Amino acid sequence: MAASVCVVGSVALDSIETPSGTAENVLGGSCSYFALAASYFAPVNMVGVIGRDFPKAERELLASRRINLEGLEEVDGRTFRWRGRYHEDMNVRDTLDLQLNVFGEFSPRLPEAYRDSELVFLANIQPGLQKGVLGQLRAVRLVGADTMDHWIRGDRDALLSLLADVDILSINDSEAQLLSGERNIVLAARKILEMGPKTLLVKRGEYGALQFSSGDVFAVPAFPLETVIDPTGAGDCFAGGMFGSLAESGTFDGRALRRAIVYGSVVASFCVEDFGPRRLRTVTRDDVEQRYRQFMALTDFHS
Under the rule (CB under 6 A), what is the footprint of ligand AMP?
10, 12, 14, 28-30, 82, 98, 124, 232-236
Q: What is the chain's alpha carbon radius of gyration, rounded to the nearest angstrom? A: 18
Nearest distance in Å: CB 138, ligand AMP: 27
The per-residue b/e assignment along 87-107, b for 16 or more CB within 10 angstroms, e otherwise, is: eeebeebeeeeeeebbbeebe
DSSP β-bridge partners for residue 216? 213
Nearest distance in Å: CB 160, ligand AMP: 20
One-letter amino acid identity for 153?
Answer: R
**CB closer to ligand AMP, 3 vs 244:** 244
**CB closer to ligand AMP, 65 vs 115:** 65
Q: How far apart are CA 186 and CA 164, in angstroms?
A: 20
**CB closer to ligand AMP, 232 vs 249:** 232
Among 123, 125, 117, CA closest to 100: 125
Nearest distance in Å: CB 29, ligand AMP: 5
**CB closer to ligand AMP, 10 vs 136:** 10
Nearest distance in Å: CB 236, ligand AMP: 4
CA atoms within 13 A on the CB side of 27: 21
Nearest distance in Å: CB 207, ligand AMP: 15
| Strand ranges (E), the chain | 5-8, 12-18, 21-28, 44-50, 67-74, 80-86, 93-99, 119-122, 142-145, 168-172, 199-203, 209-213, 216-220
Nearest distance in Å: CB 14, ligand AMP: 5
**CB closer to ligand AMP, 43 vs 48:** 48
Residue nearest to ligand AMP (CB): 28
Q: How far apart are CA 203 and CA 105, in angstroms?
A: 29
**CB closer to ligand AMP, 118 vs 279:** 279
